[in-house]
């Protein structure tokens, strides 16, 4: 490589020829091209390196006689090994006064020149390819990226930066960065200024910029200095992303899952709000109980987003949605080849929830075997993937929920009592809608506002008659059923108020006023009577019965199993 670099540095052979046609100077490049050493040719006749002595010698004689410079000569040089090389040469007379005292022969090996050209062409292509790759990477990044020099002039501006700011590349390049971004911290101790001053990068800085159209948008940026090949600072680079959607989503989540948006002013709900506020300040395990549709997941999300773990993940899993063979893998993950079908490693919900909250819904439906492993995980605060013996430390807050009576399951041997005590540190029971019917007007108003926005309507609410029907209805689907009924009504209603003809027929058929119940009996007896009465009315058709009761068929089946209804 060293020899190759020398070739590139000194490509031209140089021979100085005296007026007696003897060689007086012979440089290193001439040695390389011909193979002769200097001491082998100095003061030797020129014919020593001319392959065709007579014809080629004439040119040198003519150059002395005509006092003329010759260029682009094609000469055949005789090398030491006896081979002939064609060279491209020039002859230049050297004068002293009016007399020519010598000729300078400058020549290049044409093959060497071709090799040099090909090598240079290859290097140029490599540089261009690398430049194209870097430019493609620069412009394909989803992050806006720009660079500035030491005078704050923008020197590059990628496609994402164009998309976010609205400025074209030619509009941005050459301008001061503050003339493009117009942030209120520009030229006022901004992160880029600190990076240039200290040489230290900044990461995750949030600020607002003004786009070319005048829109104010939030961005999150990173910055670092740029160095040249001598490690000298030549500017800085910044990457940034538009976080408008993220901000909107975050605000939406906090608004949607704020405690105040769990609608209710009844005494039952006031007690629950007080509990929510207390448990959010701790990492204790919470057990949420209540029927389907009472808002257990909504409550779990609210607890998470009002806790110190709000910036961590919230991972929900419905334990009843997986069979016994899959639930363990879903919870803890598995290694490749852990069981048939485990073709690659899987990360479980516990691992995904690290630093945040894991919500285990319908925990009463998991098997005793999985309950045993879950108990060990809670006690040791560590877990293993299926097929692995490597312990993974757990940093997860657990919230569990069930619509089943866990005490009954314990008595039946279907739920571990020790696990129950582990998850029942704080129990929050969400009452069914029929037990907090005083909250019905608030809930109706809330959903009416939601659906007016969703459907771009201006419905004022429900009629007094509909309210009377709603207040007498049992709402076995709870708040979820109320939401569905009102959405159904919105689709049909073309007036300012939802009236009787707009509500589903099942609401009219199963009002409390139409079903004789003994409410002094325990609640499960009332459930038993309502379900059996509705089943009898529908000739045992479970699907029709579920529709009339406003619940899913699976929920009806679960209640029938619990109440031992054949």
Residue 6 is predicted with a pLDDT of 43
Cα distance between residue 462 and residue 472, in whole Å:
15
- 207 burial type by CB count under 10 A (0-12 exposed, 13-18 middle, 19+ buried): middle
Q: What is the mean pLDDT of residues 164-172?
A: 92
Query: Would you say 478 and 291 are in contact if contact means Cβ atoms under 8 Å apart?
Result: yes
Residue 177 is predicted with a pLDDT of 92
* Segment 445-503, tens digit of pLDDT: 889 998 998 889 999 999 999 999 998 898 988 988 999 999 999 999 998 999 999 99
Banded model confidence at residue 53, pLDDT cuts 50, 70, 90: low
* Segment 513-551, tens digit of pLDDT: 343 333 333 444 557 777 887 887 788 888 888 877 777
pLDDT exceeds 90 at position 399: yes
Residue 215 is predicted with a pLDDT of 82
> Taking Cα atoms as reference points, which of 166, 163, 127, 171 lies closest to residue 143?
163
Residue 451 is predicted with a pLDDT of 92
The CATH architecture that domain 434-562 belongs to is Orthogonal Bundle (1.10)
Beta bridge partners of 90: 106
Residue 518 is predicted with a pLDDT of 36
Residue 488 is predicted with a pLDDT of 93
Banded model confidence at residue 402, pLDDT cuts 50, 70, 90: very high
Domains 2-115 and 434-562 share a fold: no
Greater pLDDT, 321 or 105 = 105
Residue 68 is predicted with a pLDDT of 86
Which element (helix H / strand E) includes 206? strand 202-210
Cα distance between residue 411 and residue 419, in whole Å:
14
The domains of the chain are located at: 2-115, 141-242, 251-429, 434-562
Residue 26 is predicted with a pLDDT of 92
Residues 6+ apart with CB under 8 A from 218: 206, 207, 208, 242, 243, 244, 247
CA–centroid distance for 9 within its chain: 50
Q: What angle do CA 175, 180, 182 make, to 5 degrees?
A: 130
Overall fold of domain 141-242: Beta-Lactamase (3.30.450)
Q: What's the Cα-to-Cα distance from 12 to each of 1, 31, 115, 166, rounded to whole Å?
A: 19, 11, 14, 54
E-assigned strand segments in 8-163: 13-18, 23-26, 70-78, 84-96, 99-109, 144-149, 154-157
pLDDT exceeds 60 at position 251: no
> Taking Cα atoms as reference points, which of 292, 225, 165, 287 lies closest to residue 549?
292
Residues in the chain: 566
Query: Would you say 364 and 411 are in contact if contact means Cβ atoms under 8 Å apart?
Result: no
Overall fold of domain 2-115: Beta-Lactamase (3.30.450)
Residues 6+ apart with CB under 8 A from 342: 329, 334, 335, 336, 386, 387
Token pair 């020549």 is at which residue?
A: 107
Sequence-ordered alpha helix ranges (H) in 362-455: 368-380, 406-411, 417-423, 440-455
Mean pLDDT, the chain, integer = 83
Residue 231 is predicted with a pLDDT of 85
CATH node for 251-429: 3.40.50.300
pLDDT exceeds 60 at position 1: no
Q: What is the model's pTM?
A: 0.49
Token pair 């571990």 is at which residue?
A: 416
- 5 burial type by CB count under 10 A (0-12 exposed, 13-18 middle, 19+ buried): exposed
Banded model confidence at residue 320, pLDDT cuts 50, 70, 90: confident
Residue 24 is predicted with a pLDDT of 92
pLDDT over 90 percentage in the chain = 27
Residue 257 is predicted with a pLDDT of 42
Banded model confidence at residue 138, pLDDT cuts 50, 70, 90: low
């Amino acid at each position: 490589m060293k020899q190759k670099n020398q070739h590139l540095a000194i490509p031209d052979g140089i021979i100085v020829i005296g007026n007696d046609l003897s060689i007086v100077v012979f440089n290193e490049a001439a040695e390389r091209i011909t193979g002769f050493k200097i001491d082998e040719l100095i003061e030797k006749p020129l014919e020593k390196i001319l392959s065709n002595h007579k014809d080629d010698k004439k040119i040198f004689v003519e150059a002395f006689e005509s006092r003329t410079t010759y260029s682009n000569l094609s000469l055949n040089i005789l090398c030491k090994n006896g081979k002939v090389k064609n060279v491209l040469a020039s002859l230049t007379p050297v004068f002293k006064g009016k007399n020519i005292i010598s000729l300078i022969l400058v020549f290049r090996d044409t093959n060497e020149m071709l090799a040099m050209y090909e090598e240079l062409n290859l290097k140029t292509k490599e540089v261009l390819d690398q430049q194209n790759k870097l430019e493609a990477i620069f412009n394909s990044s989803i992050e806006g990226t720009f660079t500035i020099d030491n005078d704050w002039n923008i020197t590059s501006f990628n496609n994402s930066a164009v998309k976010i700011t609205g400025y074209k590349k030619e509009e941005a390049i050459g301008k001061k960065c503050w003339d493009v971004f117009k942030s209120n911290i520009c030229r006022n101790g901004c992160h880029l200024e600190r990076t240039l001053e200290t040489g230290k990068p900044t990461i995750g800085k949030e600020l607002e910029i003004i786009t070319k159209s005048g829109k104010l948008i939030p961005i999150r940026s990173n910055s670092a200095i740029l160095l040249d090949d001598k490690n000298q600072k030549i500017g800085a680079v910044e990457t940034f992303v538009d976080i408008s959607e993220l901000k909107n989503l975050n605000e939406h989540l906090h608004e949607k899952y704020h405690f105040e948006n769990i609608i209710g002013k009844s005494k039952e709900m006031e007690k629950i709000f007080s509990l929510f506020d207390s448990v959010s300040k701790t990492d204790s395990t919470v057990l949420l109980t209540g029927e389907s549709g009472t808002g257990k997941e909504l409550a779990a999300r609210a607890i998470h987003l009002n806790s110190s773990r709000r910036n961590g993940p919230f991972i929900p899993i419905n334990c009843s949605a997986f069979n016994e063979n899959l639930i363990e893998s879903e919870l803890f993950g598995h290694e490749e080849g852990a069981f048939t079908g485990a073709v690659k490693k899987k990360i479980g919900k516990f691992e995904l929830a690290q630093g945040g909250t894991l919500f285990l819904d319908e925990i009463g439906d998991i098997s005793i075997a999985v309950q045993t492993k879950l108990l060990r995980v809670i006690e040791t605060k560590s877990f293993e993937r299926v097929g692995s013996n490597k312990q993974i430390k757990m940093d997860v807050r657990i919230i569990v929920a069930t619509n089943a009576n866990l005490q009954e399951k314990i008595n039946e041997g279907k739920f571990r009592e020790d696990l129950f005590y582990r998850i029942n540190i704080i129990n929050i029971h969400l009452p069914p809608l029929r037990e907090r019917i005083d909250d019905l007007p608030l809930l109706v108003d809330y959903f009416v506002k939601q659906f007016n926005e969703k459907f771009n309507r201006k419905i004022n609410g429900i009629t007094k008659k509909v309210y009377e029907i709603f207040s007498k209805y049992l709402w076995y689907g709870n708040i979820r059923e109320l939401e569905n009924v009102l959405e159904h009504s919105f689709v049909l209603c073309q007036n300012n108020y939802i009236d009787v003809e707009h509500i589903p027929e099942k609401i009219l058929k199963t009002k409390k006023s139409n079903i004789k119940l003994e409410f002094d009996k325990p609640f499960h007896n009332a459930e038993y009577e309502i379900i059996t009465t509705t089943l009898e009315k529908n000739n045992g058709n479970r699907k029709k019965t579920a529709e009339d009761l406003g619940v899913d068929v699976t929920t009806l089946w679960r209640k029938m199993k619990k109440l031992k209804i054949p």
